[in-house]
Amino acid sequence: MFGKLTSKLIVETLGVLFAIWLLTGLVRLVSWRLYIRKLKAEGLPMLPHSLLLGHLPFVTKLMGQLPKDAHAAYLPGEIQRTYPELGPNYYVDLMPFAPSMLVIGSPEAHYQIAQEHSLPKLPNLRNFVRPLTDGLDMLTMEGAEWKQWRGVFNPGFSHGHMMTLVPAIVKETQSFCRNLDKHVKSQDIFAMKSLTDYLTLDIIGQVVLGVHFDCQRKPSPVMESLRTQIRWFSFGVEPNLFDRYNPVRPLVQWYHSRIVNAYISSQFDERVAMHRTHDGSDVRRTRTIIDLALTAYKNDVSTTKSAAIDPFFKRVCMSQIKLFLFSGHDTTSAAICYHLYLLAQHPKVLARVRKEHDSVFGTDTASTASIISAAPHLLSQLPLTTAVIKESLRLFSTVTPSRQGERGFSIKDDQGRAFPTGDFLVLPDSQSIHKSPAYWPEPESFIPDRFLVAPDDPLCPVKGAWRGFEWGPRNCIGQELAMLEMKAALALVSRSYDFTPAYEELDKKAGRKQVTLHGERAYQVDILQPRGNLPMRVNARGR
Binding residues vs ligand HEM (CB under 6 A): 138-139, 150, 323-324, 327-328, 331-332, 335, 393, 398-399, 401, 468-470, 474, 476-478, 481-482
CB-nearer residue toward ligand HEM: 58 or 524: 524
Q: How far is the CB of 434 from ligand HEM (least distance, A)?
A: 11
- Which among 128, 121, 153 has a CA at the least distance from the CA of 474? 121
C-alpha 495/C-alpha 505 separation (Å) is: 25
On whether the CB atoms of residues 200 and 329 are closer than 8 A, the answer is: yes
- Which among 334, 320, 482 has a CA at the least distance from the CA of 400? 334
Report the DSSP pairing between strands 529-530 and 425-428: unpaired
C-alpha 348/C-alpha 344 separation (Å) is: 10
CB-nearer residue toward ligand HEM: 45 or 210: 210
CB-nearer residue toward ligand HEM: 125 or 517: 125
Q: For ligand HEM, which residue has the nearest CB?
A: 478
Angle at 501 between CA 345 and CA 378, to 5 degrees: 60
On whether the CB atoms of residues 226 and 263 are closer than 8 A, the answer is: no
CB-nearer residue toward ligand HEM: 55 or 287: 287
On whether the CB atoms of residues 170 and 369 are closer than 8 A, the answer is: yes
- Which among 379, 358, 357 has a CA at the least distance from the CA of 485? 379
SS3 523: coil
Rg over alpha carbons for the chain, rounded to the nearest Å, is: 25
Q: How far is the CB of 109 from ligand HEM (least distance, A)?
A: 15
CB-nearer residue toward ligand HEM: 180 or 323: 323
In sequence order, what are the residues at sequence separation of 6 or more whose Cβ sits closer than 8 angstroms to the Cβ of residue 81? none
Chain centroid to CA 466: 16
CB-nearer residue toward ligand HEM: 128 or 297: 128
CB-nearer residue toward ligand HEM: 453 or 476: 476
Distances (CA, A) of 109 to 81, 118, 267: 20, 12, 43
CB-nearer residue toward ligand HEM: 56 or 476: 476
On whether the CB atoms of residues 345 and 519 are closer than 8 A, the answer is: no
On whether the CB atoms of residues 426 and 101 are closer than 8 A, the answer is: yes
CB-nearer residue toward ligand HEM: 97 or 471: 471
- Which among 411, 346, 376, 361 has a CA at the least distance from the CA of 483? 376
SS3 69: coil
On whether the CB atoms of residues 79 and 46 are closer than 8 A, the answer is: no
On whether the CB atoms of residues 256 and 225 are closer than 8 A, the answer is: yes
CB-nearer residue toward ligand HEM: 405 or 478: 478
C-alpha 60/C-alpha 39 separation (Å) is: 22
N-terminal to C-terminal alpha carbon distance within the chain: 90
H/E element holding 324? helix 311-327
Q: How far is the CB of 336 from ligand HEM (least distance, A)?
A: 8
Q: Is 460 annotated as a binding residue?
A: no
Q: How far is the CB of 101 from ligand HEM (least distance, A)?
A: 15
Using CA atoms in the order 267, 273, 278, 281, what is the torsion angle rounded to 10 degrees? 60
CB-nearer residue toward ligand HEM: 180 or 482: 482
Q: Environment class of residue 471 by beta-carbon count within 10 Å: exposed (0-12), middle (13-18) or buried (19+)? A: middle
In sequence order, what are the residues at sequence separation of 6 or more whose Cβ sits closer than 8 angstroms to the Cβ of residue 137? 129, 319, 320, 322, 323
C-alpha 132/C-alpha 318 separation (Å) is: 10
CB-nearer residue toward ligand HEM: 293 or 335: 335
On whether the CB atoms of residues 124 and 135 are closer than 8 A, the answer is: no
Q: How far is the CB of 453 from ligand HEM (least distance, A)?
A: 23
What residues does 501 pair with on adjacent strands?
536
Q: How far is the CB of 399 from ligand HEM (least distance, A)?
A: 4
Q: How far is the CB of 133 from ligand HEM (least distance, A)?
A: 11
Q: How far is the CB of 136 from ligand HEM (least distance, A)?
A: 13
Binding-site annotation, residues for heme:
476
Binding-site annotation, residues:
476
